[in-house]
A and B are shown apart, each in its own frame.
Chain A
Amino acid sequence: MLKLKSMIACLIIFAFVISGCSNSSSSASEEGSLKIGYVGGLSGATASFGIPTFEAVEYAIKEINDNGGINGKTVELVKEDDEGNPFKGQQAIDKFANDEIHYVISGSSSAVALSQVAKVKQNNMIAVSPVASDPKVVSDDPYFFVNLANNNQFGWSAAYYAANEMDEKEMIAFVRDDAYGTSILKAFKEKYEENGGKIVKEFKYPVDAKDFNSYISQGMSQYPNATIFATGYAADTGLIAKQARAIGYDKPIVATNPISNPQYLEIAGDATNNTILSSAYISDVSVGEETKKFIETWKSEFDIEPNVYQIHGYDAVNILKTAIESADSFDTEKVQQELLKIKDYVGASGVTSFNSDGSSTKPIYMIKWENKELKLEKTLEPGSY
């Protein structure tokens, strides 16, 4: 009799566990709260954008909770550090899945995000990334959304602007030898040649390169009329600018989104002058009312202007909130459908519309470093380049 009772008790516990698991895709929350996971580089090489993104996500969630939460539930933020390592990025998603967390903001680099995409889908989760700009991160039937313009948009817009507005028809490309650098070059080259420009020389360099003097000398001697195009991040492009100006290069430097990072100015100093870049954001109130509002709030809170990662991180949380509220449910399938319906969402980073693959269509701001400040040159709307 005792044995039978024990068996019944075990069966009840088993049934309880099973029923708990089967509810996992509808809600990741404890009663009264909704857990959202944040994964990104909180230490290591990608911390330069992983930390600012986290700060904005944390701020957005605090703001949401102050205003009643999402669908009446308080949001609880759980963070994981991927250290810029794809393996750790994957582990963080596994951990979230085990903890019944179904909504994730991924502040991981493209390389790490690529390793997370399949895991997110497999666990029936929804992730929004304000950082991963590699076009390969998104795919059909998306569970991983990106609310930042992608590398194609950055490359195409820079090429279009250089060829048509700056009338620079020859470029020497300094190509960072990683996924970001090569995908930017591919997009830039495609659009630049279409617009009558020519890449006359390509220098592909390893990600830890610091000495560009010999390449710059060779490029300048062989192609004195060519302009420098850099596909790298702030640190390496900062060195290219600094070393190029040191040997008398005075033409523009064309680059893309990461060069808006203040680290570029830190490294290159006055050599940043006349650097033109395609960016996802500029801290300029003329961009829109929501942007202006966010800049002012952020400045009053932290006494510093928000950067590109913070503004997109803030939007990522609010876009997710909008989709959950529109779905009026925590069911990830329903929220996915609502995210796909997001069109012309006006947020702090401007207007966002999701495409069917989870990528977003955004305006690109052509901005210029001049006298240690970033200035808006022109806004390129989607479809204009």
Chain B
Amino acid sequence: MYLDIFISGLAVGCIYSLIAMSYSLIFRSSGVLNIGTGEFVMIGGLVGYSVISSISTNYFVSILIGMVIAGVVGYLANTLVFHPIQKRGGQDVHVLIASIGIMISLPQIGALIWGAEPLSFPSNISQGQVNVGATQISGMSFLIIVLSFVIMIAFQLFFRFTRFGQAMRAIADDRIMSQLLGINNHKYIALIFLIAGGLTGVAGVLLAPIYYASYDMGTIGIKAFAAAVVGGFGNVTGAVIGGILLGLIEAFGGTMISSQFRDLILYVILIAVMLFRPTGILGIKQRRDTA
């Protein structure tokens, strides 16, 4: 029984982790607190649905296209909204208001394009089972866990061992110094928005077969944001840990204590964690360029 609960909690936790990574990546590199990040989940889920229902029945193709389109929307959000505001001297609060605008307008655009009714992925995607020892678990949960871990590990390798990744880390650590060293900040930040949008889009296509795709599915971003903060806002590894922790607390709290008060239990525990570690589990030091 505990293994079943662990697996389902871990699967949802992995989704939170992917979205939380996006929050952290964007914030760490550009200083933008993009509250609307969760809405890229919606873009991924709905684009994935359109692909699987009218272009290709291959689920992995829908993941790929969902990721690309969500990435492009992320890129455009930076190029058309955040970067111009920052360039014209906009403060954090102005950027925050713009991100709230994105959070409100994207679902409405989604509803205009795809309608307000929930859209379900073909049931063959979500109905397979995998045997783990004597326990039967959902094949979709298994796929979410495996794919998410592959993506998370690939990201760590990308940041550590590629030139692009190292440049992004340099920007994340100190924007001014990286610029002095000749790194084109604007180009790399735009790329980070593209990647972060893509990551969140993948989360949307992975989530949609278990739930459904709909214009309001971006609300999951609120929990992912909490995960990013608990993990240590701005720390990508912390975001992964925070997301998984959140998923497991939800699953075990809901089943072992009370399903009715699952969210209450979750947030009480999160507040307790924040009281002991106000900067999160892997809280990062203040950026050098803002010290």
Q: Which residues of A contact B (CB under 8 A)?
A: 47, 177, 203-206, 208, 210-211, 213-215, 217-218, 220-222, 235, 238-239, 242-243, 245-248, 263, 266-271
Contacts and interface: CB of A to CB of B under 8 A. Distances in A.
Contacts, number: 101
Contacts of B137: 247
Given A245-B127, A247-B4, A215 B259 contact: yes
Given A211-B12, A211-B211, A246-B126, A204 B120 contact: no
A266 B8 contact: no
Interface stretch (B58-66, B94-102, B138-146, B164-172): B138-146
Contact of B260 (A177, A220, A248): A177
Given A214-B8, A269-B122, A269-B123, A247 B260 contact: no
Contacts of A267: 118, 120, 212
B260 A271 contact: no
Given A266-B118, A266-B120, A269-B123, A217 B5 contact: yes
Given A205-B259, A243-B138, A247-B129, A271 B123 contact: yes
Contact of A243 (B128, B136, B210, B263): B210
Nearest to A245: B127
Contact of A221 (B4, B119, B212, B219): B4
Given A213-B11, A218-B4, 11 more contacts: A205-B259, A208-B219, A211-B211, A214-B252, A215-B255, A215-B259, A218-B5, A243-B138, A245-B127, A246-B210, A263-B118
B117 interface: yes
| Prevailing SS type, chain A contact patch | helix
B8 A211 contact: yes
B255 A214 contact: yes
A247 B117 contact: no
B221 interface: no
B232 interface: no
A170 B4 CA distance: 21
A215 B254 CA distance: 8
A218 B116 CA distance: 33
B4 A242 contact: no
Contacts of B254: 214-215
Top 10 A-B pairs, shortest CB-CB distance: A217-B4, A269-B123, A213-B8, A221-B1, A204-B260, A214-B251, A203-B259, A246-B138, A218-B255, A210-B211
A247 B136 contact: yes
B8 A217 contact: yes
A235 B120 CA distance: 11
A266 B117 contact: yes
Contacts of A271: 123, 127
B234 interface: no
Interface string B1-19: 1001101110110000000
